[in-house]
Homo-oligomer: A and B are copies of this chain.
Amino acid sequence: MFARIALIGIGLIGSSLAHVIRREGLAGETVVSTRSADTLKRAEELGLGDRYEADAATAVRDADLVIVSVPVGASGSVAKAIAGALKPGAILTDVGSTKRSVIDQMAPHVPQGVHFIPGHPIAGTERSGPDAGFADLFEGRWCILTPVDGTDEAAADRLRAFWEACGSRVDVMDADHHDRVLAIVSHLPHIIAYNIVGTADDLETVTKSEVIKYSASGFRDFTRLAASDPTMWRDVCLHNRDAILEMLARFSEDLSALQRAVRWGDGDKLFDLFTRTRAIRRSIIEAGQDTAEPDFGRHADHAPKG
Chain B's closest residue to A228 (CB) is B274
A112 interface residue per 8 A CB criterion:
no
Chain B's closest residue to A235 (CB) is B267
One of A27-35, A47-55, A183-191 contacting the partner: A183-191
CA distance A205 to B285 in the complex (A): 23
Structural contact, B225 and A140, CB atoms closer than 8 A: no
Least distance between A16 CB and chain B CB atoms (Å): 11
Structural contact, B290 and A298, CB atoms closer than 8 A: yes
Structural contact, A273 and B303, CB atoms closer than 8 A: no
CA distance A281 to B303 in the complex (A): 15
A158 interface residue per 8 A CB criterion:
no
Contact of A123 (CB < 8 Å), options: B217, B271, B281, B297: B217
Residues of B within 8 A of A87 (CB): none
Contact of A125 (CB < 8 Å), options: B241, B282, B294: B294
Contact with B along A106-133 (1 / 0, CB 8 A): 0000000000000000111111000010
Q: A227-253: which residues lie under 8 A (CB-CB) from chain B? A: 227-228, 230-231, 233-234, 237-238, 241, 244-245, 247-248, 250-252
Structural contact, A140 and B197, CB atoms closer than 8 A: no
For the complex of A and B, the 8 pairs showing the least CB-CB separation, nearest first, are A288-B303, A186-B217, A230-B274, A189-B218, A140-B302, A125-B294, A223-B281, A227-B281
Instruction: Give this chain's copy count.
Output: 2
Residues of A with Cβ closer than 8 Å to B?
97, 122-127, 132, 139-142, 144, 169, 171, 180-182, 184-203, 205-206, 208, 210-228, 230-231, 233-234, 237-238, 241, 244-245, 247-248, 250-252, 254-255, 258-259, 261-263, 265, 267, 270-271, 273-278, 280-306
23 A-B pairs within 8 Å (CB atoms) are namely A123-B216, A124-B217, A125-B294, A142-B216, A184-B206, A184-B211, A185-B219, A195-B255, A197-B277, A198-B258, A215-B287, A216-B290, A221-B221, A221-B224, A224-B295, A227-B278, A230-B274, A230-B275, A230-B278, A237-B270, A245-B263, A291-B298, A297-B298
Structural contact, B273 and A212, CB atoms closer than 8 A: no
Least distance between A103 CB and chain B CB atoms (Å): 19
